[in-house]
Every structure is written in C-alpha cells, then in structure tokens.
Structure 1
Amino acid sequence: MKRIIYLDNAATSYPKPKQVARAVAKTIETIAGSPGRGAHRQAITTSRILFNTRFDIAKLLKLKNPERIIFTKNATEGINIALKGLLKKGDEVAISALEHNAVIRPLTALKKKGVHARYAPLDKNGLPDPSRLPKVKMLITTGASNVTGAIAKIKALGRACKAKKILFFVDAAQTAGSIPFDTSNIDILACTGHKGLLGPQGTGFVWFAEGLSPMPLLDGGTGSESERADMPSYWPDRFEAGTMNTPGIAGLHEGIKYLLTKGIKTVRDHEMALNKIALEMLMNDSRIIVYPPFDTRKRASLISFNVKGMDPAEVGNLLDRRGIAVRVGLHCAPHAHKFTETFPEGTIRISPGALTTQADIKRFTQELHKILKCRR
C-alpha cells in the first residue's frame, strides 16, 4: 500500500518532528509529578517543562512577559478566555469576514449578554482594512484565513489599533510557526499548538499584553494560594485551573525548539514553494476553480479549489481512495464561504506543511488528474 499523502496541515500538522512524539512518551513514562503540586523532584521537573515552554514560545513569537502566556487545550479555549473574560454589556467589536467558528460562536453567545459584533471595513480579501478602522473596543482578525489563505496586514492593523486605542486580538491558528508576523502591537494572541507550531493535539495558549486582566474562564485548584476561595491573583496560575497537560506541553516544546532551530522564514519559504507548484497545476486546468489570493506571498500554506460539475465531498472521497488526505466542506468557517460564494457546499482544501515534500505535491497532482480524466 502506498504511503498516505497528507495535505491537511491547516487542520493539524503531520508528520511532526520525531522528537515531539518522543517527548510526549518520555514525559508519560518517566515523570510522575504535576506542576505546582509538590516539592519533590518530579513535580519540580513538570513545573520546569511549563516554564521553559512558555519562555521559548515568547522567544519564537517575540512576546513580552512569558508569564502572561496561558496554556489551553486549543486556540478555541484561548479565544473564549479572552472574549468572555474581557467583553461586557455594551461593548462593540469588529471582525473580519473570514473568521472561524472559534470566534463567531463565542461572539454569538456574548450577543445575549449585550456585546455587539460587526464587520470591520474590509479589503478585497475580506480582511480588515487598516485605513478604515471603526471606533470599537476590540478588533478581532484571523492572522490568515483557513479557507482562502489570505493573510491579514497584522503590522499595519496593529499600528492603526494602537493609534485609535482599540484592543487588537489576533487568532494566529493558521500563522504561528509558519508565517513570520509582527507581534509588537498585538494585545491578545491566541494560538493552537498542533498546527504550525508542530506540537500535539490538545495544546495551545493565549497571551495578553501588560495591563489586560480578563476574568478567569475556569475556577479550581492550581496548587498555589490554596487558602483562597477564589482564583490566585497572579499570572499564569489565575487562569490555569486543574491539572495541566504536561506530556502535551512537553511535545509542544519540542515543536517550538524545532522551529527556533529551523527558523520560521525557512518553513515559510519551503511551504510557499510547494504552494507555487500546486497553484500552477490547478490554475492550468480549466475544469478547476481556484479561489484567491493567487500570490503565494499573500496567502498562508493552503489552497481552496473546486472542480466544475463535482461536489467537493465527492472529490475528497475519490482522493482519499487514492491515498491523498485533503479537507472538504466549510472548514468551520461558514462566513468565509459566504464571502467567497462557496456556501453551502464549501471547497476542497489542500494545505502543505513544514514536512510536506515536493514528491507529495507531485503525487497529489497526478491523482487529481486521473480523477478528472475519468470524468471526461
């Protein structure tokens, strides 16, 4: 049986550096402690894993104050901590037209509490236009769309938000670890650990700039200030109730260290080269509809397309039978598909990753051509 060609890295990265799985296994097999719970060496070792991972995340993404990095099980949890912990009745936020349900659904829930969300003035790609920001409490944008790949103008948006005293919140699920971006004027950054950062599923974090103090989303034991009936007063313990996913965080740390050694720019160059090959093939076939942007420098490592006369799910199923793993449908981002006029069927999406090869892309193009040939 041929090796599976995995082209769904926008959902979760695969394969991952081998040291990621080794770190998870080693932590499970050899470390018996829980962070902040005990003075024995095992507990201290687990606390050190969390400390070192926070430090290296801050180093990789150029974030100030590593203690303001809160570990979560995914980006969605981080987004909920930020939105539900900071927004109150009467607050207004602006969003892009491309947001994931990780943003849309919490805002829908907050609408019942008097929080109002609306689209920011948009550029041609459905992302906020830095020159036309409305006066709102918070601007929320995806770093890059998980449907079109369009990359937000993070640096310009950060400057514009700072000038207008708007909180700038970036969902970096599709950019962290794979696209260099300026974090200097970001106020809130939510990331998943299992995509571009190459860690295991069940990991993520949210970071808050100095001066922001959200209410905790969860209450419970932290191993610190246990005499208090409410949550501890200091970061990050105030937001990390319950036993931490130490094995997962150890694996995430290995993904972070891999990127620190490799360099995010190197990963970006590699992924752009793969996308260029795939784009050229797809756009040279009149039966295939590719959705913009078309410049690989302006898109994340993903391509959404459709085949004329075929349902996306059918194409995905036929590719799967041939050993090619792609994503089809709405990708948890129905607003983006309404913007691109691909709702409700959605699209077929390929997303090469840091460890995808040119041979993988070549085989994908060969198998897709075979499918199209059979449909003539």
Structure 2
Amino acid sequence: MDSLSSAEFTHPTTYLNTASSGLLPARTAAALHRAVDELAAGDFSGPERWIDTARAGYARLAGVSADRVAVGSSASVHAGLIASGLAPGAEVLVADGDFSSLVNPFAVRRDLSLRIVPLKRLAEEIRAQTALVAVSTVQSAHGRVADLAAIREAATRCGARVFLDATQSAGWLPLDAGAFDYVMCAPFKWMLCPRGAAFLTVAESVADATTPVFAGWTAGESPYDSTYGPITRLASSARRFDASPAFLVYAGVMASLSVIEEIGVATIGEHNKALARRFEEGVRSLGYEPVPTGGSAIVSVPGLDHAVPGLEKAGITVAGRAGNLRAAFHLYNSSSDVDTLLEALPARR
C-alpha cells in the first residue's frame, strides 16, 4: 500500500479529513485532463465508456451485478427518488443525527410519518407499521457503525424495506449491497472520486415497484431511440433509475475505483482501522475519551473541536463536527500522520 500511495498521492499536509472529501489519486487527475482534452478536440466517444466502466467497477466493489447499479450526480437525488415512491402516511424510520442528504428528502414530504430514534435502537424500533428504514452505514457526525445485520433481520421480520447510505463506508468497509433493497453512495469521500457522481443499487425485488421519476432519455432500453417524447420502453436494468450524470466526472470515477479495487476494500479497512485505534489510544493518554464507534475509520473526540482552526494553521487537516474533533484515516495515511496529530493536541487539564 505504501508504494502505491507514494505514487498516487503527493499531498503536502497531514490530511485526515476523508470523511469530508477524499484526495484524488494521480491517475484520476490524469484521466480528467485527458477527458478534457478529448472533449475540447470534439471527441465525444468517451462519455458512454466512462459511465459503463464506472458502473461496472462500482458493481464489483458493492457485490452486485452492473445491471443493478444506477448512476447520477447527487446522493440526495437518489434519496428523493426513494422518498417519492412512498405512499402517503408511510412510516420512515431514521437514526437521530443522521446525514441530512439522507433524511431531508423524507422530511420534506409532510404526508409521511418520519420517526427518529437513536442509532443503537434502530433495529429494535422497526415494527409492522414501518415501511422503510433509511440509515447511513457509518455515521458522518461521529463514525459509529450501524448494526446492519440486526437491521436487516428486523426489517425482514416486519416486512420493511431498507435503504442504506454507504457514503461514509464504501471504500474501506466491505459492502454486500445485494442484501438490501436500496443502497446509495456518493463516492467522493472514501472511494476517492471527483465530486459530482453518485451510485444507487436497486434490488430486483423492488425495481418494478420503484418509479423512475428522474428518468431522462438515457433511461430507455435503447437510449438513442428514446430522445423525444415519452419513453415507450424503459431499460430493464437499473439504468432506468439513472439521474442524468455529469459525464466528465465519470472519467475520473473509473480511474479512482481502480485504485480501490487494486488494493482491496478489506485491506484498506484493516489499515484504516489500525490507524484509528492508534489515535484512540493516543487521545486517551491525553485525557480525552473518543466516541465509541464499533470499529470505524472515523474517530470523533468530544471537547477538542476548538483545536481544529489551530491544527489547520499547522498543516493538519481534520474537521469539527457535532461539537467533536473528527479525524478520518484512509489508505494515504500512516502512523506518522497519527503521531503528528497527537503531538499537536493539548493534554486535558
């Protein structure tokens, strides 16, 4: 991993903020430059290839076939698609403090029953009235990992569908997207992609019951025969749920996903979690208690958010979220990055 990281990443700072945005690999930057040059020269043969390659790459990482993957430009649009298909009065269960892009599309539908419960009680709060459980696999605010097995078991027992947001885990935490009804991901964080791409997996069992409200001409079974008027035949695959993608971005997406595939999600995850544990041990020695996460690449420390501006000035990039200092460890980080951060933090008085 070290040799690949040195070849792909040359950031001059101690960057520990992947939970906000991942760094672009060198191959991704090169792919974007090539794509710009091609389009500037009038060569438009690339966009469909970029989309198809990215779709297939994400499918492999998500553990599903490519025909179950829809693409778009924003995770919140995918969430809006799911929210739009719920019947008036349907109960949607979400975790307290979950990310707004997941929750808001359901909250703005005033005719839905939105029930908010603590993450640790999410599985036990699923009941017969619950139509949909919407939850992030890993919480943005503090890095807690959701108990997906318990959520899936309870949802199956009660007949509820499950909608996951894997934005804070895809790329370091193995994902079996096929085990859930819907899984969305904005890959600009842990998958190191340019911002402006999004993926949604839709299980075959719910595809026919899901209306592709954002369907454009590419949603047709034969897109170039679907450019005018109502589409007479939607794609049989999840491509019917595509929200018009930003073509240029996907030239970078396909390159970034190749980095994740080459190293392997499990390998990246073990590396990231080892660094997180090192940091947790270090902050405890300084007198702080990090938020318990259940084994995450994200560590949040209450009482240290005030240190974030000073760390930024010192060339250490972390985030302040929900009153905590939040550090996120990824494949381009090392133990020396952890130690640099710890050395810059004040001991608790």
TM-score normalized with structure 1 length: 0.80
Aligned partners of 1:199, 1:33: CA distance in 2, in Å?
24
The answer to whether structure 1 residue 356 and structure 2 residue 348 are counterparts is: no
Contact 1:168 1:185 in 2 (8 A): no
Q: Partner of 2:98 in structure 1?
A: 99
- Sequence identity percentage: 20
Per-residue Cα deviation, 1:10-49 (whole angstroms, up to 9, x for no partner): 01112x3211111111111124699xxxxxxx44432122
Which of 108, 113, 116 is 1:116 aligned to? 113
The answer to whether structure 1 residue 255 and structure 2 residue 271 are counterparts is: no
Aligned partners of 2:41, 2:61: CA distance in 1, in Å?
27
Aligned partners of 1:351, 1:261: CA distance in 2, in Å?
21
Q: Partner of 1:299 in structure 2?
A: 295
The answer to whether structure 1 residue 160 and structure 2 residue 154 are counterparts is: yes
Q: Partner of 1:347 in structure 2?
A: 324
Which runs of 5 or more residues in structure 2 are unaligned? 1-10
SS in 2 for 1:269: helix
Contact 1:155 1:182 in 2 (8 A): no
How far apart are residue 178 of structure 1 and its match?
0.9
Q: Partner of 2:17 in structure 1?
A: 8
Which of 142, 163, 183 is 1:148 aligned to? 142
How far apart are residue 182 of structure 1 and its match?
3.0
Q: Partner of 2:126 in structure 1?
A: 133
Aligned partners of 2:64, 2:196: CA distance in 1, in Å?
22
Per-residue Cα deviation, 1:196-222 (whole angstroms, up to 9, x for no partner): 111111111112111324334436554
Contact 1:220 1:231 in 2 (8 A): no
Cα RMSD of the aligned pairs, angstroms, is: 2.5
Contact 1:144 1:152 in 2 (8 A): yes
1:1-376 pair list within 5 angstroms: 3-14=12-23, 16-31=24-39, 42-64=43-65, 66-84=66-84, 86-110=85-109, 112=110, 114-119=111-116, 126=120, 128-129=122-123, 133-135=126-128, 136-210=130-204, 211-213=206-208, 214-218=210-214, 220-222=216-218, 224=224, 225-229=226-230, 233-234=234-235, 235=237, 238-240=240-242, 242=244, 244-286=245-287, 288-293=288-293, 298-307=294-303, 312=305, 314-330=306-322, 346-369=323-346, 372=347
How far apart are residue 362 of structure 1 and its match?
1.2
Contact 1:232 1:238 in 2 (8 A): no
Residues 318/152 of structure 1: CA separation in 2 closer, same or farther (3 Å cut): same
Contact 1:216 1:239 in 2 (8 A): yes
Q: What amino acid sits opposite 1:156 in the alignment? A: A
Q: What amino acid sits opposite 1:363 in the alignment? A: T
Per-residue Cα deviation, 1:36-84 (whole angstroms, up to 9, x for no partner): xxxxxx44432122112111211111113x2332222232222222222
Contact 1:159 1:185 in 2 (8 A): no
Moved over 6 A (4+): none
Q: Which 10-residue stretch deviates more, 252-261 or 170-179?
A: 252-261
Residues 33/206 of structure 1: CA separation in 2 closer, same or farther (3 Å cut): farther
Q: What amino acid sits opposite 2:115 in the alignment? A: R
Contact 1:97 1:127 in 2 (8 A): no
Contact 1:32 1:43 in 2 (8 A): no
Q: What amino acid sits opposite 2:144 in the alignment? A: A
Number of paired residues?
330
Aligned partners of 2:173, 2:147: CA distance in 1, in Å?
12
How far apart are residue 230 of structure 1 and its match?
5.5
Q: Which 10-residue stretch deviates more, 177-186 or 225-234?
A: 225-234
Contact 1:148 1:299 in 2 (8 A): no
Per-residue Cα deviation, 1:281-335 (whole angstroms, up to 9, x for no partner): 111122x342223xxxx2321111133xx7x2x31111111111111143xxxxx
Q: Which 10-residue stretch deviates more, 167-176 or 46-55?
A: 46-55
Aligned partners of 1:33, 1:156: CA distance in 2, in Å?
53
Q: What amino acid sits opposite 2:80 in the alignment? A: N
Aligned partners of 2:171, 2:121: CA distance in 1, in Å?
21
How far apart are residue 236 of structure 1 and its match?
5.0
Residues 354/226 of structure 1: CA separation in 2 closer, same or farther (3 Å cut): same
Per-residue Cα deviation, 1:221-271 (whole angstroms, up to 9, x for no partner): 5453123235862255544455x3222112111121111111101100110
Aligned partners of 2:31, 2:340: CA distance in 1, in Å?
32
Q: What amino acid sits opposite 2:64 in the alignment? A: L
Contact 1:290 1:306 in 2 (8 A): yes
SS in 2 for 1:189: strand
